Structure 1
Amino acid sequence: MTRLPLALAPLQDEAWPSYLTRQAAQHGTTLAGMGSHLGLRDARGRWPGRFGVTMAETEAARVAPMLSLAPKQVQRMQLAAYHQLAFDLGGLAHNSAIGGTRATVHAAWVWLAGTTFCPLCLVEDDGVWRLMWRIPWITTCIRHEVGFHGTCHACGGVPGLGNRFHGSAPPRVAAAPDGRRCTGPTPVGHVCGADLSAQPTVQASPERLMRAKRMADLVAGQRGVVSGTERTSLQALRGWQSAIGIAVRLGVVDSDGWGRTHRWANPPRDPDLIDRLLQAVEPLVTAPDRTTGADVLDGWLRDADIRSPHVNTFDRITQTSAALQPVINELLGRHGRAHTVIQRRLTSADGAPFGERDWGVDDIPQLVWPCALPEHLRHSTKPDQRILRAVVSMILARMFTDACDWVAAGRALGFPADKSRNWTRYAFAAKWGIKTDLLDASHALGQKLPKRPRRVSFHRRSQVSGFGSRALADAQSPRCRDQGGSAWCPCYPQPTAP
């Protein structure tokens, strides 16, 4: 193959089909003729699979000299230039072409064919199409501050999407090469030919522009923040994707019928709808911390009348996201039966055991220190603060011993079986609304117990008998240091790291 007589430099972020179209126009031929001259089409006129998506290094090295380009310049015009930044194309390495495509589109939001566009950019750049327009997260032209278009207003087709099989090969390659014109097919077999650069545009709101800039930064590889934690660009975008799946399933946003199935593998083609989805989940993803993010997610669940969420509530909605999982874990830690919540809190987000375990039941008094309770419960009479302290002790026994139920936890502390069941059921009753407070108090005390400067054994248990809180009159009940109690209590100053 010979070098083309007229050199043409690609514009920044120009897509491969756009560049070949401009080359064809410059040399007075069709896109089909240009593809044949470059050896991109076989004898039957078929284009290579995943045209404009990926290109083998050997192929780029062969084609580049004919275009007076370096192989890296050719590779930068392929969609794979955003691999591991905006999406993961690793599935395309699958042995089966169909299997590889399915593996890819099920991994993240990505269009292997079709694109959005900005009419004003087409005017100013004389029909150049940007590679970033092929990324679903980009909904707005920051340069002109207008929303993108997803279809041709004349024929309703998606530019670059030639058939119902979503193939990436360019359609209607025998038409006159003009980047401004729609090459979508008409019912009678002709080319639409509508001037895409003449389509009307709508000014984007400041909020939409802000979202567009955030997405553009992520797509370019900048690190993002999801609910207060910094993530890689790909992890952050997966967080947005997972949040959208949850929001659509819970009815947080009107998706115009999109997303009833396969929310993780089928990004909508309408840029306005995608921006609406981004706007809906923005409070969750941009929350300052995972606790605030869990508050947002909790509100979504309440509005959807889901009172007892569990793991499958989210796993069946959309793909999991490492960036969003800490928020989901925080939310799940607020719901469910007490023993279920305890088990969730015993492991970190990565599944590792939580906290130190070098202490046992003899380190737990029958009633924990008064200052171990939250301030508003230390003088509670309904439920009685002594019962609450006994419940916190049993929670610790379940957290850090082999006790498998409340009876076993109570037995380890010297409580009768009926009182262990009744006190925990009473304290966790929904009418009090203090279950989370007691679990949080136990969690905090469990972190402090291993750090005591000196240990006191509580293995000599008192006899517990009688009814109500009176049964705890003689129970082990260490006092706070400030009240002349033992040498240590939970409000004892924690040792600082050297």
Structure 2
Amino acid sequence: MVTVWPRRLALVVAPVHGESFASWVDRMALRNGCPPWAMVEALGLDVATSSDVRSLAYGVVATPETYRAIEAATGVSAEVVRGMHLAMFDGSVLDLAGVRVGDKESVRRAESREWVQFFGSRACPQCLAASNGAWLVWWKLGWAAVCPAHRTLLVDLCPRCRVSIRRGPAGQPARLSRSRMPDPLRCGALLSGFVCDQPIPQISTSAVSNKLADQQRLVLEVAMGRRPALIAGQVVSAGQWFAVLKATAMLIRLGVPEVLPLLNVTLDGQGALAAEAARQRWNRAGPMGRYGTAPRTALVAATLLEVALEVAEAEGESELVARLMPLAAAARMRWKERRPDLLTQVALSPVFAAALDVVLGGQAGRQ
């Protein structure tokens, strides 16, 4: 069977380093004067049977054939195109092994399980202004909290319409528009028949400490395999490292509000954790759904990240136990000595699992 590649586009926009696939498509659509639907079709993606981006795993994963088709249409290498998808984080901060293109349910399950926004994004207004609207792919991660370059908290909510930015109509996943031209520098949320035109570069942000900016940079370097992952001085896989951060975040959430005075974080961070806990409700996923979901805001993500990294950076096993002990003690007040089964659902490194066994009295469990 002969492969039919898409026709080479005359007007191609060079992707910005680290840009997300959806952002690149939007900027290409603007350059070519067409809606995103038409641009995606011109790139060789199969959009003939559905208008729902969920069924396409749009910007999440794609087949090797799709990467090559996009290369044929644009001249941008398949490797660079894959780097614009969340697939670049598979095996480190994300587990996308079960996500299949065209399988809506596999995308839904992964989005509810992983700490990521498949169809939304946080953002740095200053970065967007400087790049003329290039949205970075790592802003979609649940651990995306601050901009290391500008040392500011990322934006996650439009101040005008109160919808999560880039999420879509009223906070629901957006479809690929057949008619509306994208505007990478505006909110664009569809609400009751009108489009929110809030300029994102004009949204104010909060400054963060140099320490937190450096911690965010560390997270990105580990996620991209540019730096070894260490837990209590021992080298672990990137996947195990992020599992430890997530498990520590769960432990912190379990202890709210008793744990808050024990955390070396700002009062705003403590307040954000308390507010998140107050809004959370039990659901069909049980405790995992309440405590294991991605942080709702950049401020919560920053607060959890700051504490989790302090735990992970313990110099040895005994210090790791000492740093976990107060978190576990606070959490026990909320559990009322019940077994914290949700911690058994995370694949942890042996050194961290052993430390949990100590602080939880052998109840942590291992995978």
Instruction: Please indicate the TM-score interval, normalised by the length of the shorter structure.
Output: 0.7 to 0.9
Q: Distance in 2 between matches of 1:282 and 1:46?
A: 38
CA 21–95 in structure 1, closer or farther in 2 if over 3 Å, else same: closer
Q: Deviations over 1:198-220 (max 9, x none)?
A: 11122211222132122122222
Instruction: Please state whether the residue corresponding to 1:149 is helix, strand or coil.
Output: coil
Residues 1:13 and 2:40 aligned together: no
Uncovered stretches (5+) of structure 1, i.e. residues with no partner: 352-498
Indicate the percent of aligned positions where both proteins have the same amino acid.
21
Q: Return 244-253 or 263-272, whichever deviates more.
A: 263-272
Q: Distance in 2 between matches of 1:307 and 1:264?
A: 13
Equivalent in the alignment of 2:29? 24
Equivalent in the alignment of 2:86? 79
CA 93–26 in structure 1, closer or farther in 2 if over 3 Å, else same: closer
Q: RMSD over aligned Cα, in angstroms?
A: 3.1
The alpha-carbon deviation at position 185 of structure 1 amounts to 0.8
The alpha-carbon deviation at position 103 of structure 1 amounts to 5.0
Match of 2:251 among 246, 250, 254: 246
Equivalent in the alignment of 2:40? 35
Q: Distance in 2 between matches of 1:158 and 1:98?
A: 23
Q: Deviations over 1:215-260 (max 9, x none)?
A: 1222222322223322122211110000100111022245223455
Equivalent in the alignment of 1:327? 355
Instruction: Please state whether the residue corresponding to 1:272 is helix, strand or coil.
Output: helix
Equivalent in the alignment of 1:237? 242
Instruction: Please state whether the residue corresponding to 2:118 is helix, strand or coil.
Output: coil
Q: Is the contact between residue 229 and residue 235 of structure 2 (CA under 8 Å) also seen in structure 1?
A: yes
Match of 2:69 among 55, 62, 69: 62
TM-score by length of 2: 0.81
CA 350–265 in structure 1, closer or farther in 2 if over 3 Å, else same: closer
Q: Deviations over 1:160-188 (max 9, x none)?
A: 32257954744x5633332111121122x
The alpha-carbon deviation at position 267 of structure 1 amounts to 0.7
Instruction: Please state whether the residue corresponding to 1:90 is helix, strand or coil.
Output: coil
Q: Is the contact between residue 153 and residue 199 of structure 1 (CA under 8 Å) also seen in structure 2?
A: yes
Matched ranges for 1:285-304 at <5 A = 285-304=312-331
Letter in 2 for 1:325: A
Instruction: Please state whether the residue corresponding to 1:225 is helix, strand or coil.
Output: strand
Report 1 or 2 for greater relative contact order, CA contacts < 8 Å, sequence distance ≥ 6. Answer: 2
Letter in 1 for 2:72: P
Equivalent in the alignment of 1:198? 202
Q: Is the contact between residue 311 and residue 324 of structure 2 (CA under 8 Å) also seen in structure 1?
A: yes
The alpha-carbon deviation at position 58 of structure 1 amounts to 1.4
Q: Distance in 2 between matches of 1:27 and 1:268?
A: 37
TM-score by length of 1: 0.61
Q: Distance in 2 between matches of 1:93 and 1:148?
A: 30
Q: Is the contact between residue 151 and residue 159 of structure 1 (CA under 8 Å) also seen in structure 2?
A: yes
Higher Rg:
1
Uncovered stretches (5+) of structure 2, i.e. residues with no partner: 1-5, 261-269, 282-286
The alpha-carbon deviation at position 91 of structure 1 amounts to 2.0
Q: Distance in 2 between matches of 1:234 and 1:305?
A: 27
The alpha-carbon deviation at position 134 of structure 1 amounts to 0.9
Q: Distance in 2 between matches of 1:160 and 1:36?
A: 21
Q: Is the contact between residue 242 and residue 264 of structure 1 (CA under 8 Å) also seen in structure 2?
A: no
Equivalent in the alignment of 2:3? none
Matched ranges for 1:97-108 at <5 A = 97-99=104-106, 101-103=108-110, 105-106=112-113, 108=114
Equivalent in the alignment of 2:220? 216
Q: Is the contact between residue 170 and residue 191 of structure 2 (CA under 8 Å) also seen in structure 1?
A: no
Q: Is the contact between residue 242 and residue 321 of structure 1 (CA under 8 Å) also seen in structure 2?
A: no
